[in-house]
Amino acid sequence: MPAEPVSTSSPSAPPSAPVQRTGVLKAPGFAAFVLARLASVLAMQMQAVVVAWQVYDMTKDPMSLAYVGLAQFIPMLLLLVPAGDLIDRFDRKKILALSWVLEGCCSAMLWWLAMNPQHGVVWIYGVLVLFGCGRAFTGPALQSLLPQLVPREQLAQALATNSMLMRASTIGGPIVGGFLYKYGGPITYAVCFTCFALALLLLLRVPVLYADMKPPQVGQAGGFTQMWVRFGAGISFIRKHPIILGTISLDLFAVLLGGVVALLPIYAQDVLHVGPEGLGLLRSALGVGEIAMGIYLARKPFNQNVGMRMFLAVAIFGLANLVFSLSAFFWLSFVALMVAGAADMVSMYIRSALVQFSTPDAMRGRVNAVNMLFIGSSNELGEFRAGTSAAWVGAVPAAILGSVSTLAIVGLWMWRFPSLRRVERFEEAG
């Protein structure tokens, strides 16, 4: 499921406003911004492959993979809401730059640890905690900065272009990381550090043209209390609207129970016997499916039976993961993960639209913050769940149990949220 969702709550042109197809290319900071983000996402994807492989190679313990996810989940969970508040009060470009500096320093520390393996995995977990702190600020800062780089009437095109390129990087990053690991972990971490440094240099060239679009600053007095009051209001609104609650909780539990990404190193080594290059290809398979379905949806969007289609997409996601869980053939595992990625893209397409249509403008920022918290942290918590289950019952039974649980969640949510199931068109969600 997606690790950095693109918010659609930023100011944009009215639906009737024409979009200039060549305007984004003329925005002076957009190209540098996209290249900077590409470099940072490539670094994160490469590093994710190498860390997972290295930790499992050192320990041969599935529980160690659970700690990899948990080490990044805890700081993201604790800091994501305060990070969003700080990003609304201070310079977003500087916050993003500082977060990339921290993440680059983490790559440098992993580089040093790879050259000195006698320190063990505990130090790697400590570095991943710091990396999770940086990621808590990176996501909200990236989403908030983009509307300040392009004219309002061109924002929709900029968001679409940015999203597609980021999806492409989720394919290339794991493949490159897997192949680089053949030459050793230190080399791969050095490349990750270089990518973060390049992202920082490119970011410095990005002019912030529309600073007046930044939300009003919050006063220092009572700021912390006000932050949690606003966050609580967003949660209360979600609880009272079953379409929103059902949509974002369905995604949370589908990823939490059915995700198999954390188990890929075990499958690559012990089930499929394909090595780190195969692990990189397996991690990229989800992205390949997402890109292919994203291109299809861009050409042929739909707006009928959206509630049932979302449940069907999540069910296909669970079935595809079940096929992967039972597969002992690399090609079948790769195709199953591609199908899971395509189904996840359909689900994400519907979920994003339903949340936006169900939320009034005055509440949209807070609801999107809660939604991002669910999506952004569920991957890491899901990795902890998968690793823990694999340590208890074995990787294959854990993957099968998770996939079956996803199918059970689909059936339970269809019964628990009938209004969500009956949504025919996006406009009916409002």
| Helix pair 92-115, 121-145: axis angle to 10 deg | 160
Residue with tokens 């916050």: 95
Using the 8-state DSSP alphabet, how is residue 269 labeled? I
pLDDT, residue 284, reads: 80
pLDDT, residue 317, reads: 93
Q: Which residues of the chain have pLDDT under 70?
A: 1-27, 84-85, 88, 143-144, 147, 150, 152-165, 167, 170, 209-224, 227, 230-231, 234, 298, 356, 359-372, 375-383, 429-430
pLDDT, residue 368, reads: 61
- CA–CA separation, 414 and 369 (whole Å): 25
Q: Please report, as a single letter, which amino acid is at residue 66.
A: A
Q: How far is CA 133 from the centre of its chain?
A: 15
Q: How far is CA 116 from the centre of its chain?
A: 31
- CA–CA separation, 2 and 41 (whole Å): 12
Q: Nearest to residue 80, comparing CAs of 31, 39, 138, 131?
A: 138
pLDDT, residue 108, reads: 92
Cβ atoms within 10 Å of 221's Cβ, excluding its own: 8
- CA–CA separation, 430 and 426 (whole Å): 8
Long-range pairs of 82-88 with CB within 8 A, sequence gap ≥ 24? 82/227, 83/136, 83/137, 83/140, 83/141, 84/140, 84/369, 85/218, 85/223, 85/227, 85/230, 86/137, 87/137, 87/140, 87/141, 87/144, 88/144, 88/214, 88/215, 88/217, 88/218
- CA–CA separation, 289 and 317 (whole Å): 11
23-210+222-429 has CATH 1.20.1250.20 classification: yes
CA angle 205, 207, 210 (to 5 degrees): 165
pLDDT, residue 154, reads: 60
| DSSP labels, 153-197 | GGHHHHHHHHHHHHHHHHHHHHHHHHHHGGG-HHHHHHHHHHHHH
pLDDT, residue 358, reads: 76
pLDDT, residue 312, reads: 94
Q: Nearest to residue 128, comparing CAs of 55, 36, 41?
A: 55
pLDDT, residue 10, reads: 38
First and final CA of the chain: distance in angstroms? 25
